[in-house]
Amino acid sequence: MARPQHFGWFLSRGFGPHGWGRPDWEWGYDWRRPDLYQQSVRTLEQAGLDLLIIEDALSAGSPGTLDLRVRGAYGGPKHDPLMLAPYLLDASERIGIVPTVNVGAVLPYTAARQLATLHHLSAGRAGVNVVTDVSSARHLGQERLGHDAAYDRADDWISAIEELWSSWSPGAVVEDVATGRYADASRISTSRHDGEYFRLEGPLNAMPFDDGAPLIASPGGSPRGIAFAGAHSDVQLALARLDIDSLRGYRQRVLDAAAEHDRQEAIRTLFVLKPQLVASSQEADRLVAASARPEEADLARIAQAWSSDAETDLTRLDLDAPLGPGVFGEHVSRGTIAGLRGKHAEDPDAPLREILAQHARLGRLSERRGFVGTAEELADFIEEAGEHAGSDGFLFSGDLHPVTVHRMLDDLVPALRRRGILRREHPPGGVGANLRDF
């Protein structure tokens, strides 16, 4: 049997209009109502996935970027995933639900209390994906911090939360009807947290945890991001080139960061994966061949999607003119521009058509040149990642729409289960215990 791995789903565009612009929209789900996600999350649980992570961003955009973000629903509207979490926890029994929270938006005391409440309500299945994005600072009446300062604030935020979660010592909850005493205040610490960003007093007025604590996930891949994960996270959401050496290298960086805090056993690195699964290798070959010559409509769709992320209207530019650096404003993330330019990162003369076309081109899983293939071919890759990169597992990325979920998992679940890579049942104890199971 192959090495078992953990799997999850990353709802990559957050709690927003699912299926918009695709034929799936005709299924008639209302993205604002819980049933779409509840139905999907039950399928993820039946499929043996350990957790669902829900992306979030606070902002619909600035006056200059609003239209780019909302016109194709790529960047908004978005509703708050923390509010969706109880509906999903109630509709499921074993899977972990991990909404994203921006540390600038919620005070540590409030977050500690909300997450503790969800942890108790769900018997240990709640978590939080901690993000440091500062582009929405203006909505919160805050100064925009720099990259590293935002991580310093996140460190301070999570440390305050961890202190609040441990403010009730063992034995603080007495529950002795005979003496009429519910709790013992002498075992509850009122100590202060005096950080650079947050100064506050305990104790938390939520119950302590019998076992574990809400799951902490984090996605930052910079050295600061990985240092944060090493110190605090149970799960690192990793975006990397998906070749065996890159997987091994990224996971090792996370383990090295965790070793600084003696936490190597506590953390799992899960790689984000968005395969295009088809029924046969002939169909995969056909798709890959067709993608070498993208049509104008394909390029327009890609330009539209990147316009939202790059906060720059690419759809109005001449496809055959070079995409010079002056097109982008100062506020646009350098990482996003590098991602868009791809292999043309160092070539200012590359025309937009060529830059967009590379995002249309697909590659075959069986040749390790891309992620188009059959479920068995994907299972081969996942098995290889487990055997040769020590992979802890993967997060499938996409909408949380029943059509997307079934398209991804229908044939993959049997392929992975037959190999012993995907669990058949979840042990009791919540999402943290599930992830530490192997």
Ligand X SMILES: Cc1cc2nc3c(=O)[nH]c(=O)nc-3n(C[C@H](O)[C@H](O)[C@H](O)COP(=O)(O)O)c2cc1C
Binding residues (CB under 6 A) for ligand X: these are 55-57, 100, 102, 129, 131-133, 147, 219-222, 224-225, 237, 239, 272
Q: How far is the CB of 240 from ligand X (least distance, A)?
A: 9
Residue with smaller CB distance to ligand X, 195 or 339: 339
Q: What are the backbone dihedrals phi and psi of residue 126, each rounded to the nearest 5 degrees, phi first?
A: -100, 155
If the CB atoms of residues 273 and 355 are measured against ligand X, the closer one turns out to be 273
Min separation Cβ 15 and ligand X, Å: 11
Which residue's structure tokens are 């669902």?
A: 52
Q: Are strands 6-11 and 393-398 parallel, antiparallel or unpaired?
A: parallel
Under DSSP, is residue 18 helix (H, G, I), strand (E, B) or coil? Answer: coil
- Whole-angstrom distance, CA of residue 9 vs CA of residue 12: 9
- Contact in structure between 165 and 213 (CB atoms under 8 Å): yes
- For the chain, the residue count is 438
**What whole-number distance in Å separates Cα of residue 331 and Cα of residue 347?**
21
Please choose, from the candidates 243, 287, 281, the residue with its C-alpha nearest in 3D space to the C-alpha of residue 376.
281
- 190/392 Cα distance (integer angstroms): 39
Give 100 or 307: the residue with its C-beta nearer to ligand X.
100
Nearer Cβ to ligand X, position 102 or 374? 102
Nearest approach in angstroms of CB 12 to ligand X is: 7
Beta bridge partners of 194: 199
Smallest separation, CB 325 to ligand X (Å) = 20
**C-beta of 298: minimal distance to ligand X in Å?**
25
CB of 217 to ligand X, least distance (A): 9
Q: Which residue, chain included where needed, has tokens 């978005």?
A: 78
Residue 420 φ/ψ region, left for φ over 0, alpha for ψ in the -120 to 50 degree band, beta for the rest: left
> Which residues, at least 6 apart from 313, have a Cβ–Cβ distance to it below 8 Å?
67, 68, 307
Q: Nearest approach, Cβ of 225 to ligand X (angstroms)?
A: 3
